[in-house]
Structures are given as C-alpha cells and as structure tokens.
Amino acid sequence: MYEGPVQDLIDELGKLPGVGPKSAQRIAFHLLGVEPPDIDRLMSALQKVRDGVQFCVVCGTVSAEKECRICADPRRDRTIVCVVEEPKDVQAVERTREFRGLYHVLGGSLDPLSGIGPDQLRIRELLARIGNQQDGVDVAEVIIATDPNTEGEATATYLYRMLRDFPGLTVTRLASGLPMGGDIEFADELTLGRALSGRRAL
C-alpha cells in the first residue's frame, strides 16, 4: 500500500507474533518520527540476539555469562531442581518468590507430530545433572513444572518414568486446580475435575 522502505518495514513488523497490519503501520510511522539513535538501539539489540544468545551451560536458560545468575548464586538450594519448558517459565516461577532451588530448561515439550521427541529436549542433560552430584550435593527433589496441556502432561509422564528409579529422589508435579481469583461456575470441566481429585484436608 505504501511505497518503498515504509511498506517493507510494515511487512516485516507484521510478521512478528501479536502484531497485526494496523499495529505494524502504527509502529512504522512511530519509527519514522523518532530520532535515529532510538532506532539504532533497537537495531543493535536485534543484532546481538541475531548473533546468538548464550544459554546457561547448567540449566539452559538465557544467560549473559557461561553460567546464569541463578545457577551461580551460592544461596540457592542445590537439592531441588524445577524442570520447565522455556526460559520464560523460569521467570514466571521466579516471580512467585516461593522457590529457592535451581532450574532445568527443557527447551520445549514432547510433541511427536512436530518431530519433537526426547532427543530434541534437554532430557539427557537433566539425567546427567541428577546422576552426578551438584557441587557435592545430591538432588533430593525434581519438580516437574511443564505446562498443564497435552504436550506438557505427556512430557511430565515421560520424565517421571525416567526419574522414578533414581535412589532417594522425589519427583513432584505442580498442583492442578482452580486458579486463585477464579470462579467455580466458570471453571472448565477438566480443571474442576483436577481440583476435585486433588482436594486437600483442611
């Protein structure tokens, strides 16, 4: 619709997730009006991500150093490992401020239809971490915090089978149930069913 570079930029922005044609146009015209250094900062951030982001050699989350801040922090409890699908799940658990252990990022969930099997995830690395001591400490608990959907549940089941025979290791799964602030009336059958079967004594 527009001519030349502006349309190219609108087209490229429109390929980003959650950016429709209207937002792409709005962002492009916003960028037409900003100072060049502002665009430079965006371009340099893109360049750095394009040139490769470093992942923590221990847990696999995005990291500025060889080892991420969490893995390098001596105050974290090395006996508990929380297994998540993606780096953003690490941030979600961190935001709760309820967890002081370490993480392990799988890099996704089992999804055979998309060609993602155990070898495409960081499962071998997880087993190695639990098999070896971490800084002289044995891992006592693995919390499986994959998403509560089909792929995440399948991954959790697979991991449980791989981990249950480690001596002295407890394997747990995040509780399923009603979200806080939610409404029983509007809960879906699956969630309400999980909340019932997982009920706890008061």
Cβ 49 to a second copy shortest distance, Å = 5
Q: Tell me whether strands 170-173 and 102-105 are parallel, antiparallel or unpaired.
A: unpaired
Considering the rule CB under 8 A, would residue 26 count as an interface residue with a second copy? yes
Nearer to a second copy, 139 or 145 (CB): 145
Cβ 25 to a second copy shortest distance, Å = 6
Distance CA(84)–CA(65), nearest Å, equals 20
Site for a second copy in 37-76 (CB under 8 A): 38-43, 45-50, 53-54, 62-65, 68-69
Site for a second copy in 101-120 (CB under 8 A): none
Q: Tell me whether strands 80-84 and 141-144 are parallel, antiparallel or unpaired.
A: parallel
Considering the rule CB under 8 A, would residue 23 count as an interface residue with a second copy? yes
Considering the rule CB under 8 A, would residue 13 count as an interface residue with a second copy? yes
Residues lying near a second copy in the complex (CB under 8 A): 1-6, 8-9, 11-13, 15-19, 23, 25-32, 36, 38-43, 45-50, 53-54, 62-65, 68-69, 86-88, 91, 94
